[in-house]
Amino acid sequence: MTDALKVVPETTPVKSGVRDVKAVADGLADVLADTYRLLFKTHTYHWNVEGPLFYSIHNLTETQYEDMFKAADELAERSRALGQFAPHAMADIMKRSVIEDADTLPSAGEMCEQLASDHERVAHRLHALVELAGDHKDPVTEDLATERSAFHEQAAWMLRAIAKG
């Protein structure tokens, strides 16, 4: 094995003016965990939805999980840019996330309602990250969290609009 393959990741001090990068990275890790779990839940509902609104829900959830997949990468890369690690174990994702799995496969309307509530929970956590990032002089994370919150608020609205069906 060459020396290039023996490099072990480590945290790195970053001097960009962000105060307490560990606290900000922890907040990022929490919303990354929520994003990843909600992405998975959305994808499974996308696969299993049935009924008269199948096409609408199927297409909407596809758009949403694709967005969240990209966002997970952006959130993780922001942690790395702060010199910290992103979560690297599924157990950590499960422990950090406020998103819960459904015990049974719900109806199409219940899927939309559950996902809407989950998006609101993630938006709430992102609002807290906006505040934390601002308090720690991290406008980059603040902007990222604001953008992500807008996505989740819109997703909740769209899902609830369909559930009124």
Question: Does some domain include residue 12?
Answer: no
Q: Of 150, 151, 162, which Cα lies nearest the Cα of 111?
A: 162
Q: Residues 132, 27: contact at Cβ < 8 Å?
A: yes
> Which CATH number fits the domain that encloses residue 81?
1.20.1260.10
**Tens-binned pLDDT, residue by residue, of the chain (165 aa):** 688 888 888 788 888 889 999 999 999 999 999 999 999 999 999 999 999 999 999 999 999 999 999 999 999 999 999 999 999 999 999 999 999 999 999 999 999 999 999 999 999 999 999 999 999 999 999 999 999 999 999 999 999 999 985
Question: Does some domain include residue 9?
Answer: no
Q: Of 38, 119, 137, 35, which Cα lies nearest the Cα of 77?
A: 35
Question: Does some domain include residue 115?
Answer: yes
Q: Which two tokens stand for residue 78?
A: 């922001």
Question: Does some domain include residue 26?
Answer: yes
Give me the domain span that covers residue 27. 18-96+108-163
Question: Does some domain include residue 81?
Answer: yes
Question: Does some domain include residue 8?
Answer: no
What's the structural domain count of the chain?
1
Q: What is the pLDDT of residue 165?
A: 59
Question: Does some domain include residue 140?
Answer: yes
Question: Does some domain include residue 5?
Answer: no
Q: What are phi and psi of 19, to 5 degrees?
A: -95, 135
Q: Residues 125, 65: contact at Cβ < 8 Å?
A: no
